[in-house]
Structure 1
Amino acid sequence: MSPESTGQNEHHIRVYRRRFRAWRGNRPFWAGLFTMAGGIPIAYFPYANMHLGNVTLAMSTTAGAGSLIIGVLLVTLGLTMWFHSIVRVFAGVAAILLALISIPVANIGGFVVGFLLALIGGALSISWAPGEPAADEAALHDAPLSLDKQRPEREYAPEGALHGSAVPQQSAGDHDAASGYDGGTHRAG
């Protein structure tokens, strides 16, 4: 190998970073991350104990099981957005609905933090669309155009007519067999 080749000296972190960037670009990554981040405080706060000096504050309520279910479902929907991006719209709608349900059930939606994160994640999931694959420049120039993208380079004029002279144009429905004009963008001949 020559010293100019970059393959042998490439660092592993760069390789993993490129792979992660390609993986992240093919799915609603941020939607899944926000949805999972919204599910964690919704599920955590009803079971959390806060210590202020010698005083223990328990935030557990009667809706602890409902909060746990909503939080686990939001984390599951976030993972679904990552690994099954084909159902991203369903997962986004479900995340928004669970975020709205968490307001009365789970301590005001995980003290509004989990509610907002899940709401943003669901909205991002609904609005995400897969990008077009990047095409090679050479393939773009060599590929023929489809019929709907083909454009005539100049307007067809009967033989013998000079460019720029006043030649009456035929309507699209007329067909003149002598001139070869068929009314469309195709030329007879």
Structure 2
Amino acid sequence: MSPESTGQNEHYIRVYRRRFRAWRGNRPFWAGLFTMAGGVPIAYFPYANMHLGNVTLAMSTTAGAGSLIIGVLLVTLGLTMWFHSIVRVFAGVAAILLALISIPVANIGGFVVGFLLALVGGALSVSWAPGEAPSAEEPFDEQTSRRTASPNGVPYEERSEDRPDATTVPPQQNAALGAAAGDDGGSRRAG
């Protein structure tokens, strides 16, 4: 590529990373990850065999099928949190309930590790709320990573802190100042 080329001037890993960050920011990513990570030990430990020399220790219980079902459901709920974030509250509550059920059914909830991960994932899913998209009225300065307009829509550079007017005084105080000057805040109509 030559310097005059209009081709891609950004490394493809940065592009994929930026796309992943945008995808991750629009859903309860960490809630799904914790829930799926909690389902793995709950499903795995009842079927695991540990070998110590010639001795084999089996941690299987009579409820091995129950722990497998709970683990698979937790992984499914984690994927649901990622790809259908509209049902995040239901998935979070179901993950919390399955984590609690795993204590007596699946070797103390996957030796407490799976229980805690699924419980945290469910709580994160219930508490997650989608962010608001920035409005077109409030420009974003990419170099400083800040909004260039205040919440009332007036650019920061145009505000003057030394004079009280409609741009710096809150609306309640502005109405009180107008009433003191003889204006009732615009409630009178010319007829």
Matched position secondary structure for 2:50: strand
Counterpart position of 1:66? 66
1:155 Cα deviation after fit:
4.0
What 5-or-longer segments of structure 1 have no aligned partner?
158-165, 170-180
Pair 1:138–1:67, CA change in 2 (3 A): closer
**2:14 is the alignment partner of 1:17:** no
Structure 1 counterpart of 2:98, which letter?
Answer: L
Structure 2 counterpart of 1:73, which letter?
Answer: L
Instruction: Tell me how far apart the structure 1 counterparts of residues 98 and 23 of structure 2 sit (CA, whole Å).
Output: 27
1:184 Cα deviation after fit:
4.5
Question: What per-residue deviation string (whole Å, max 9, x for no partner) do you get for residues 48-71 of structure 1?
Answer: 011111111111110100000000
Identity of aligned residues (%): 82
Instruction: Tell me how far apart the structure 1 counterparts of residues 126 and 110 of structure 2 sit (CA, whole Å).
Output: 23
| Deviates further, 55-64 or 30-39 | 55-64
The correspondence of residues 105-120 of structure 1 with structure 2, limited to 5 A, is 105-120=105-120
1:156 Cα deviation after fit:
3.9
TM-score (norm: length of structure 2): 0.74
Counterpart position of 1:76? 76
Instruction: Tell me how far apart the structure 2 counterparts of residues 20 and 83 of structure 1 sit (CA, whole Å).
Output: 13
What 5-or-longer segments of structure 2 have no aligned partner?
141-147, 154-169
The correspondence of residues 19-168 of structure 1 with structure 2, limited to 5 A, is 19-136=19-136, 137-138=138-139, 151=171, 155-156=177-178
1:2 Cα deviation after fit:
9.0
Pair 1:29–1:155, CA change in 2 (3 A): same
Question: What per-residue deviation string (whole Å, max 9, x for no partner) do you get for residues 134-179 of structure 1?
Answer: 23434996xx98xxxx94688447xxxxxxxx86x5xxxxxxxxxx
Counterpart position of 2:144? none
CA contact (8 A) 2:175 2:185 kept: no
Counterpart position of 1:185? 186
Pair 1:43–1:6, CA change in 2 (3 A): farther
Instruction: Tell me how far apart the structure 2 counterparts of residues 100 and 153 of structure 1 sit (CA, whole Å).
Output: 54
Structure 2 counterpart of 1:84, which letter?
Answer: H
Counterpart position of 1:8? 8
Pair 1:90–1:52, CA change in 2 (3 A): same
CA contact (8 A) 2:42 2:67 kept: yes
Instruction: Tell me how far apart the structure 1 counterparts of residues 19 and 96 of structure 2 sit (CA, whole Å).
Output: 30
TM-score (norm: length of structure 1): 0.75
Instruction: Tell me how far apart the structure 2 counterparts of residues 59 and 15 of structure 1 sit (CA, whole Å).
Output: 45
Counterpart position of 1:173? none
Instruction: Tell me how far apart the structure 1 counterparts of residues 59 and 112 of structure 2 sit (CA, whole Å).
Output: 15
Aligned length: 162
Instruction: Tell me how far apart the structure 2 counterparts of residues 130 and 4 of structure 1 sit (CA, whole Å).
Output: 41
